[in-house]
């Protein structure tokens, strides 16, 4: 039985805790928040044995096997590193950290300590994504030529938290990493930013980014925003057809379009919900003694963080 702890108790942690109840050989053992009162409120909705008002106290609990790090972005490096040093396996909510240098340091520490670390890119683990990726690997749409991704929503600054905060705020770290995850999974690295359009908040964070990246004869487009609504969709175009993925950040269906115009609608529902498969994967990795996921690899996390760095540099 893998005993999980949760650091941070925002909305994403609530969704994680709900999904965790469906995972075999895993349970929620403890939650830690900035105050014990907040931790106890979380515990009332998601029963656990312990509620801590201090993150380090949770990591020091000898019963903890794994921790889900769900604090704001700027604290990821600190608490992932402290967890690894405490020999506690880590699933860290995306983005893995603020910069590629931070991510690479966490990866190095994971290997040094011999402790599992994975970025929580849940989009890569849902059944629909695994199914369409298998079809692409089978060559059913030929060689990939072009990828487009769009994930844009209007965020209310008055009711948002860290999203509009200088430094850790902005659409790239919050939502753009989902777009970049698709490109990283289906395009070779390194990639080069060849075109970019953007809109900035008065405080300098990105409200909108539309960028083209290229590598190995493949082009990829990301569109990510806090200030507008678009259809959330990714399209992967190949030499023999294409795949259209609505809500690619949590896909449950896709359409495969062959060269002759035939459309095949494929629905592949979640196992329980869009968090379950990711958590189950981590539990399996721990049972197998792994320190790295074969699906969301350390290199993938480093690559995605490097792309964010490139895009931010292009904006400056």
From 3.90.930.60, 3.40.50.2300, 3.40.50.720, 2.30.30.790, which CATH number describes the 2-120 domain?
Answer: 3.40.50.720
The pTM assigned to this predicted structure is 0.97
- pLDDT at residue 316 in the model: 77
Determine the Cα–Cα distance for residues 46 and 198; give it in Å rounded to an integer: 40
Query: CA-CA-CA-CA torsion for 270, 273, 274, 277, nearest 10 degrees?
Result: -80
Which has the closest alpha carbon to 118: 309, 306, 291?
Answer: 291
Place of tokens 């608490």: 79
Quick one: pLDDT at residue 106?
A: 98
Please choose, from the candidates 32, 78, 87, 85, the residue with its C-alpha nearest in 3D space to the C-alpha of residue 55: 32
The residue with tokens 């030529």 is: 145
Instruction: State the pLDDT at residue 249.
Output: 98
Comparing C-alpha atoms, which of 93, 100, 99, 97 is closest to residue 78? Answer: 97
- And the tokens for 31? 């939650």
Contact 20, 2 (CB under 8 A): no
Please provide the CATH number assigned to the domain covering 127-269.
Answer: 3.30.360.10
Domain residue ranges in the chain: 2-120, 127-269
Which residues does 297 contact at the CB level (< 8 Å), separation at least 6? none
Along the chain (316 residues), what's the average pLDDT of each consecutive run of 10 residues?
96 97 98 96 98 98 98 97 98 98 98 98 98 97 98 95 95 98 98 98 97 98 98 98 98 95 96 97 98 98 98 94
CA distance 217 to 19: 40
Angle between helices 298-315 and 100-113 (to 10 degrees): 160
Count of all residues that appear for the chain in the document: 316
H-helix segments, the chain: 11-20, 36-45, 55-60, 76-85, 100-113, 127-137, 171, 177-186, 276-287, 298-315
The predicted pLDDT at position 122 comes to 97
Taking CA atoms, 2 is separated from 46, 63, 169, 274, in Å, by: 16, 9, 33, 20
Alpha helices by DSSP H, 162-219: 171, 177-186
Distance CA 311, CA 304 (A): 11
DSSP helix, strand, coil percent of the chain (3-state; round to 5): 40, 30, 35
């Amino acid at each position: 039985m893998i005993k999980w702890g949760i650091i941070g108790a925002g909305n994403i942690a609530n969704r994680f805790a709900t999904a965790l109840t469906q995972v075999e050989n895993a349970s929620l053992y403890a939650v830690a928040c900035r105050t014990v009162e907040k931790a106890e409120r979380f515990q009332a909705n998601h029963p656990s044995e312990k509620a801590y008002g201090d993150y380090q106290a949770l990591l020091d609990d000898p019963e903890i096997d794994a921790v889900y790090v769900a604090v704001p972005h700027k604290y990821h490096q600190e608490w992932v590193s402290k967890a690894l040093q405490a020999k506690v396996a880590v699933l860290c909510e995306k983005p893995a950290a603020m910069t590629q240098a931070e991510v690479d340091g966490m990866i190095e520490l994971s290997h040094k300590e011999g402790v599992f670390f994975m970025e929580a890119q849940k989009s890569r683990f849902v059944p629909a994504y695994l199914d369409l990726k298998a079809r692409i690997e089978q060559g059913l749409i030929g060689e990939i030529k072009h990828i487009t991704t769009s994930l844009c929503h209007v965020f209310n600054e008055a009711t948002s938290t860290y999203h509009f905060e200088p430094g850790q705020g902005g659409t790239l770290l919050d939502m753009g990493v989902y777009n970049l995850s698709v490109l990283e999974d289906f395009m070779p690295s390194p990639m080069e930013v060849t075109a970019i359009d953007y809109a900035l908040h008065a405080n300098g964070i990105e409200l909108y980014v539309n960028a083209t990246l290229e590598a190995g004869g493949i082009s990829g487009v990301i569109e990510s925003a806090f200030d507008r609504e678009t259809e959330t969709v990714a399209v992967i175009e190949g030499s023999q057809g294409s795949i259209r993925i609505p809500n690619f950040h949590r896909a449950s269906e896709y359409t495969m379009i062959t060269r002759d115009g035939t459309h095949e609608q494929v629905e592949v529902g979640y196992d329980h919900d869009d968090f379950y498969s990711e958590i189950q994967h981590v539990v399996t990795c721990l049972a197998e003694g792994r320190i790295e996921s074969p699906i969301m690899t350390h290199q993938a996390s480093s690559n995605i963080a490097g792309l964010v760095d490139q895009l931010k540099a292009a904006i400056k």
